[in-house]
Structure 1
Amino acid sequence: MKKAVVFGATGLIGSYLLKELLNSTDYEVVTVVVRRKLTIHHPKLKLLIGDYHSLPSLKEDIKADEVYITLGTTKNKTPDQRVYYEIDHDYPVLAAKIAKERGATAVFLVTAVGANPSSGVFYLRTKGEVERDLIAQGFDHTHIFRPSMLMGNRDENRPLEKFFMAIWWFIGPLLIGKGLEKYRGIAGERVANAMIKAAQNQNEKVKIYHWREMQDLLK
């Protein structure tokens, strides 16, 4: 049985991911690093309270075969680009580094469709840079998931996101072909399930999953 560590377990994808990992017979311990206590109680769950700045002090308590990273913020929530970059880039890179030093051989990262370190768009450039810097760490297996519009209910109120989500339900079926279908919306729960499925069959050194690849995993 494996050990997993999750960063971002309270988000849309992360909350589903945590539930699936705890219910899976493949895992004996699931460690989560969060800023505050969770309401979930489970015999497999190991809870660590911390953030980017305190993470190094938690290193000895992190022991995992796999590290799952679903961290992320928004421009409205974090308008300061320096802090935004710290959450979306620096924290995932540090989390992966520490997990690797503590035995992790595989990393599963959620970024976004269009991620590119050369992009002129700050959001896409940040996502591209975190992908690049995690790949450079040299895990045995690096899995990168690039969803487009994430569908599902969040705990926090995001009216603009709900508006675009409603539009995506209608335009999704029109996005046909390899060049367009990667922009289809996908439920956060399905992304989480795809990550679990990917962990069951790890052959490639680096694998990137768009909408089609995630759908294929879930067949």
Structure 2
Amino acid sequence: MAYKAIIAGASGLIGSNLLNILLAAPQYSEVLVLVRRQLPIQHKKLTQLVINFDELEKYHAAIAGHAVFCCLGTTKSQTPDERRYRQIDHDYPLLLAKFAQQNQVDQFHVVSAVGADKTSVFFYTKLKGELEDDLKRVGLNSLHIYQPSMLTGRRDKTRPAEKLIGGLFKIIDPLLLGRLKKYRSVNGATLAHAMYKKSLENAAGIFTYTSDKINKI
């Protein structure tokens, strides 16, 4: 069976790796990306829909296919306004999930974060926890939540702090054993490949993958 995939956030670390994987995957015959700006790539499987995410309702009908992969996210340096940050990391993914459920999309995959908890005192993990809880109430047939710790890999934009932390994790990762394995770093390409592999299983329910599980997949 040839599948259709929808990717939101295809220009980022995870989304760009996932896009390359899906374009090469024989199981997928069509890949639709929702982007703010046209990506510098052409492929017979690829359709680019340039949109204003503040007007997602206009594209409701386009959110249809086998799987939606939501790789949207921002950082404090890019988006210091917490209200705007919440829109990108919570509101947009939740709205995409609702459209996916209404259009009977088989699966919804979303990138969250380790430590996601709606009762957290930290803005980022609290926000991710709220998103996870809200997604679980949408009624999706198959919801896959990925909770990576530190993400590593080549990015379009250099982030000195992340580069430094990534170097530290190369030393720290082997020391994180047992229950601490979920805090090991994850390469963006590894996470993208895990999302692809899980999308082929057609399992119904809610599934959560921490860094240790992602690395095993």
- The TM-score bracket by the shorter chain reads over 0.9
Gaps of 5+ in 2: none
Query: Where do 4+ consecutive residues of structure 1 move more than 3 Å?
Result: none
1:59 to partner: Cα distance:
2.1
Partners of 2:52 and 2:213 lie apart in 1 by 32
Q: Are 1:100 and 1:139, in contact at CA under 8 Å, matched by a contact in 2? A: yes
Q: Are 1:4 and 1:66, in contact at CA under 8 Å, matched by a contact in 2? A: yes
Partner of 1:203: 203
1:200 to partner: Cα distance:
1.6
Q: Are 1:7 and 1:34, in contact at CA under 8 Å, matched by a contact in 2? A: yes
Partners of 1:164 and 1:22 lie apart in 2 by 31
Partners of 2:156 and 2:119 lie apart in 1 by 33
Q: Deviations over 1:44-69 (max 9, x none)?
A: 11111113212211223332121100
Instruction: Give the aligned residue type for 2:183.
Output: Y
2:186 corresponds to 1:189: no
Deviates more, 1:151-160 or 1:6-15: 151-160
Partners of 1:97 and 1:2 lie apart in 2 by 20
Q: Deviations over 1:147-199 (max 9, x none)?
A: 0000111111211111111101111100011x201110110000000001111
Q: Are 1:89 and 1:130, in contact at CA under 8 Å, matched by a contact in 2? A: yes
Report how many residues are paired. 216
Partner of 1:67: 68
Q: Deviations over 1:52-105 (max 9, x none)?
A: 212211223332121100100000110000000000000100111122222312
Instruction: Give the aligned residue type for 2:211.
Output: W
TM-score computed with the length of structure 2 as normaliser: 0.96
Partners of 1:10 and 1:68 lie apart in 2 by 13
Q: Are 1:48 and 1:58, in contact at CA under 8 Å, matched by a contact in 2? A: no
Partner of 1:149: 150
1:204 to partner: Cα distance:
4.5
Matches within 5 A, 1:2-17: 2-17=3-18
Deviates more, 1:140-149 or 1:207-216: 207-216
Instruction: Give the aligned residue type for 2:173.
Output: G
Matches within 5 A, 1:164-175: 164-175=165-176
Percent identical residues: 42
Q: Are 1:33 and 1:51, in contact at CA under 8 Å, matched by a contact in 2? A: no
